[in-house]
């Protein structure tokens, strides 16, 4: 069977990466978490004490780093110039500032290049915000995953508790809503459903339900 490209977009904490990983594994495709790339850049820029609002300086940090996404047992590991940053790019500090970094046109331009290169051989499941609209406009399968902000915050909250992390549901809800707002209202490649994407509202669906729905859709297109 020929290898296609699968784009999965949607707001924060909608379950994109969970579902994308399962689907990639099923088809033996490469999974590319584009959010991790923006997070890696944000982490590095914070470390270097860069003003995140300064587009040129942030873009310069990006040109100085190699970001690698490598498959691992439970998903993928993220490396910056060879250093494992898988966990540190998920801190609140990074999460709550990544949307500022992701607004800059020069940053998005470079990310777009890198992401297209990673996907150039097909056989990829790529998740993010602008994959169906900008990065892979010709993807054979485009999915837009959404869920109510309350449900998304609740899922994150339960994940945090399970991991033994401190978690405040109200705060999480506000942070997620704020990130969605910044991602949806930015000038360049905002979070938006592609006109040819199928929209799945996962609010009252299990992960299994979502995966099954997407795989049925993929099967029609292989």
Q: Which residues are annotated as a binding site for ATP?
A: 10-18
Residue 87 or 220: the one with the smaller Cβ distance to ligand C5P is 87
Binding-site positions read 10-18
Q: What is the CA radius of gyration of the chain?
A: 17
Q: 112-131 mask for ligand C5P (x: CB under 6 A)?
A: ----------------xxxx
Residue 185 or 222: the one with the smaller Cβ distance to ligand C5P is 185
Q: Are 217 and 198 in contact (CB under 8 A)?
A: yes
Compute the distance between CA of residue 71 and CA of residue 73 in angstroms, rounded to an integer.
7
CB of 110 to ligand C5P, least distance (A): 12
Rule CB under 6 A: say whether 155 interacts with ligand C5P. Answer: no
Strand partners, 126: 7, 32
- Tell me which of 30, 102, 211, 218 binds ligand C5P, using CB under 6 A: 102
Q: Which of residues 32-91 bind ligand C5P (CB under 6 A)?
A: 34-35, 38-39
Closest CA to 5 of 128, 118, 129, 138: 138
- Contacts with ligand C5P by CB under 6 A: the residue count is 14
Residue 5, classed as helix, strand or coil, is: strand
Residue 1 or 138: the one with the smaller Cβ distance to ligand C5P is 138
Closest CA to 113 of 62, 156, 71: 62
DSSP for residue 88: G
Q: For binding to ligand C5P (CB under 6 A), which residues are involved?
A: 12, 34-35, 38-39, 98-99, 102, 128-131, 179, 183
């Amino acid at each position: 069977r020929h290898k296609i490209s699968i784009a999965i977009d949607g707001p924060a904490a909608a379950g994109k990466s969970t579902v994308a990983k399962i689907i990639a594994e099923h088809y033996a495709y490469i999974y590319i978490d584009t959010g991790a790339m923006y997070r890696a850049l944000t982490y590095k820029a914070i470390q270097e004490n860069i003003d995140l609002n300064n587009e040129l300086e942030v873009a310069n940090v990006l040109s100085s780093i190699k970001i690698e996404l490598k498959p691992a047992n439970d998903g993928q590991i993220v490396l910056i110039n060879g250093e494992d940053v898988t966990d540190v790019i998920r801190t609140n500090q990074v999460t709550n500032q990544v949307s500022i970094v992701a607004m800059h046109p020069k940053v998005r331009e470079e990310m777009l290049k890198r992401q297209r290169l990673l996907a150039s051989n097909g056989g990829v499941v790529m998740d993010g915000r602008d994959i169906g609209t900008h990065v892979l406009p010709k993807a054979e399968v485009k999915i837009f995953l959404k869920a109510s902000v309350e449900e998304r915050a609740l899922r994150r909250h339960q994940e945090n508790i399970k991991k033994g992390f401190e978690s405040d549901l109200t705060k999480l809800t506000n942070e997620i809503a704020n990130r969605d707002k910044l991602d949806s209202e930015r000038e360049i490649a905002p979070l938006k459903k592609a006109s040819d994407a199928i929209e799945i509202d996962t609010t009252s669906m299990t992960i299994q339900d979502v995966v099954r729905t997407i795989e049925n859709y993929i099967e029609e297109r292989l």
